[in-house]
Structure 1
């Protein structure tokens, strides 16, 4: 089941930052890391990925550089210090959010009454 950009609205930026945590990647490799890391659930079109990468770069969270591989130019992205800080903060916020949602969706047994 392929995810959509709309489904990820509000989460795409942090997911893209997370794909760059392991090291620099070119745009298509970021797209593939997102797809593979989600078990195929987030197989987003390049028309969703590249604008988000550009937005993250403009915000100073990632830095891009051009290179030529097999005669083709491609842009490689890496996290900046600001991007690493943002990813760390967003991971903490996500854990808190996920814990709260899980507590509501999968409540434990009611307290025993005596």
Structure 2
């Protein structure tokens, strides 16, 4: 019985492994594009310039700013587990949604753990 439940999770785990921006085979829309505001870009520039000491004319400065903007965008994307639970009908923010997310995250972690 336990093996059957584990095997039933394979399609869910495969869906979670897909990139966030990819459209699902079922035809659902892609994840919304998240934009970085001017204030966030300025904050990234200040970190690269003031904290890391990079000069704006330096190539490393531009790479630093782009990296921080990319990380900010990634941090604001919904977790794949949260999206999967919402697609299964759980209302985001509800107790059942939180439990679903926790169970899927644990299942993904378990599936990614080597058997050795």
Tell me the TM-score normalized by structure 1: 0.29
Give 1 or 2: higher strand fraction. 1
Higher relative contact order (CA closer than 8 Å, sequence separation 6+) = 1
Give 1 or 2: higher helix fraction. 2
Tell which structure's C-alpha radius of gyration is larger. Answer: 2
